[in-house]
Structure 1
Amino acid sequence: MEQKKIIIFGVSQLASLAHFYFKYDSPHAVVAFTVDKDYIQADTFEGLPVVPFEDIEKLYSTEEYYMFLPISFKQMSHLRREKYEAAKAKGYKCVSYVSSKATTWPDLNIGENCFIFEDNTIQPYVKIGNNCVLWSGNHIGHHTEIKDHVFLTSHVVISGCCVVEENSFFGVNSTVRDETIIGKETLVGMGAIITKDTPEGSIWIGAKSTQRESKSNQIDSISHKTNG
């Protein structure tokens, strides 16, 4: 695989983790970090320069450098989506990271700016869109499609032949039965068991899969509470 020079967005713990994984489990080289200029508190992070995102393309050519944006699930991943789209608008291509300790098959169908940690099992014919995060230890069943900007925490089971729509979130140990459609911006809480299609913006809490009346895009703090 060709080595790419990468700029990581952020100076958070997730950015530090991304730097670690690229350093020890990737042919690519991280060369800098970037954040919005109002959030720069130091000139370096992990021993590398931190530069303003507003000026990044003036310092690092979009033809030569790639971007990786490991941003959290806050606001149902809309913040990560916003920054990903801003990087694309500047002309950057984004790399994805797939752990060498994940179980995958040849011709993995995966988009840009995905962060797939160790011990994920991704079965044949799975499709994963752009800007998704799969934390460690998940199972993604065959012929399932995960669309853009989705966040899975850990030990999530998505059974075979499912469709997960954009900006959905899954808490630890949640489960989705086979041939289920997860509606856009669905929040599946820790330990929830989903046995039927979910409406857009719905919230599911607990093992009985009780739907709450609130819309997921109206709630930020609940995703922290359901993340374990």
Structure 2
Amino acid sequence: MKKKKLVIFGTDDFAQLAKFYFTADSEYEVCGFVVDKEYLIEDSFCNLPAVALEDAEEKFPPSEYDMFIAIAYTHLNEVREQKYHEYKRRGYKLASYISSKATCWYEGNEFGDNVFVFEDNTIQPYAKIGSNTILWSGNHIGHHAEIGNHVFITSQVVIAGRVVIGDNTFIGINATINDHIRIAERNIIGARALIARNTKPNSMYVDKITKKVLQNVNDSTFFFGKSVKSVGGDKDGV
């Protein structure tokens, strides 16, 4: 079967990984890369052509190529969000990748575009994954959970049933979100954090050990200038 043509935005580690996974485990043939002009150092990447954004539509016309935006969580996913909207306006269909080594029943599941699901994720029935959202390897997404748009979930994260994750949220390694919890938009959930209550928008929640480290370096307004809220420990959550 003839494969669809794909071009990837980005020339960093994530772009290289995306190229590997799309090539090894999808219906796509990766044909090249696109970056902003100021980041175009060489005219090739991973032995494929790399072009500046200004030349993308001529080299890789949207009528012939789909696009994947391979940007991680820079500025709380806002950079990836900007490129997502820009390339949709340019007429590109944005591709998604769901690893064949992920456990996904597809019963009642919904996936947006420009989604990337690495291996060993478990996505239970009726869970919904929003557009432009990245699930790194080894997470549990519980039944009827709703993951918003422009979200980045790292690894070994447990999201229980009926959880709602707001847009532009980052969830760190080994975090746990109890069932029926609502995570507001633009949250940072730190590594190892236990979230047992609903959160507030534009806030960061970290475990006690991490909070102590941040305070020791006088960095309690880390990321977006908001106070760091401590969670975790033997008994307490948010």
Q: TM-score, normalised by structure 2?
A: 0.87
Matching residue's letter, 1:74: T
1:73 deviates by 0.6
Gap change, CA 1:73 and 1:59, over 3 Å in 2: same
**Which digits, 9 at most, give the CA deviation of each residue in 1:21-73, with x for residues without a partner?**
01111121000100011111111111100011122112222121100011011
The match for 1:133 is: 134
The match for 1:205 is: 206
Rounded Cα–Cα distance in structure 2 between residues aligned with 1:183 and 1:215: 18
Q: Are 2:77 and 1:77 equivalent residues in the alignment?
A: yes
Matching residue's letter, 1:168: T
SS at match of 2:71: coil
Gap change, CA 1:130 and 1:8, over 3 Å in 2: same
Q: Are 2:143 and 1:142 equivalent residues in the alignment?
A: yes
The match for 1:191 is: 192
Rounded Cα–Cα distance in structure 1 between residues aligned with 2:200 and 2:209: 17
**Which digits, 9 at most, give the CA deviation of each residue in 1:105-153, with x for residues without a partner?**
1353100001110000000000111000000000000001001000000
Matching residue's letter, 2:50: V
The match for 1:217 is: 224
1:217 deviates by 3.4
Q: Which has the larger radius of gyration?
A: 2
Q: For the aligned residues, what is the CA RMSD?
A: 2.0
- Count of aligned pairs between the two proteins: 218
Q: Structure 2, unaligned stretches of length 5 or more?
A: 215-219, 227-238
Q: Structure 1, unaligned stretches of length 5 or more?
A: 220-228
The match for 1:49 is: 49
Percentage identity across paired residues of the two chains: 45
Rounded Cα–Cα distance in structure 2 between residues aligned with 1:176 and 1:106: 22
Rounded Cα–Cα distance in structure 1 between residues aligned with 2:223 and 2:144: 27
1:74 deviates by 1.3
The match for 2:20 is: 20
Gap change, CA 1:10 and 1:68, over 3 Å in 2: same
Gap change, CA 1:112 and 1:2, over 3 Å in 2: farther
Matching residue's letter, 1:19: K
1:209 deviates by 10
Gap change, CA 1:216 and 1:142, over 3 Å in 2: farther
Gap change, CA 1:20 and 1:5, over 3 Å in 2: same
Rounded Cα–Cα distance in structure 2 between residues aligned with 1:207 and 1:154: 20
8 Å contact kept, 1:192–1:209: no
Rounded Cα–Cα distance in structure 2 between residues aligned with 1:90 and 1:66: 11
SS at match of 2:7: strand
**Which digits, 9 at most, give the CA deviation of each residue in 1:86-110, with x for residues without a partner?**
1111111100011110000135310
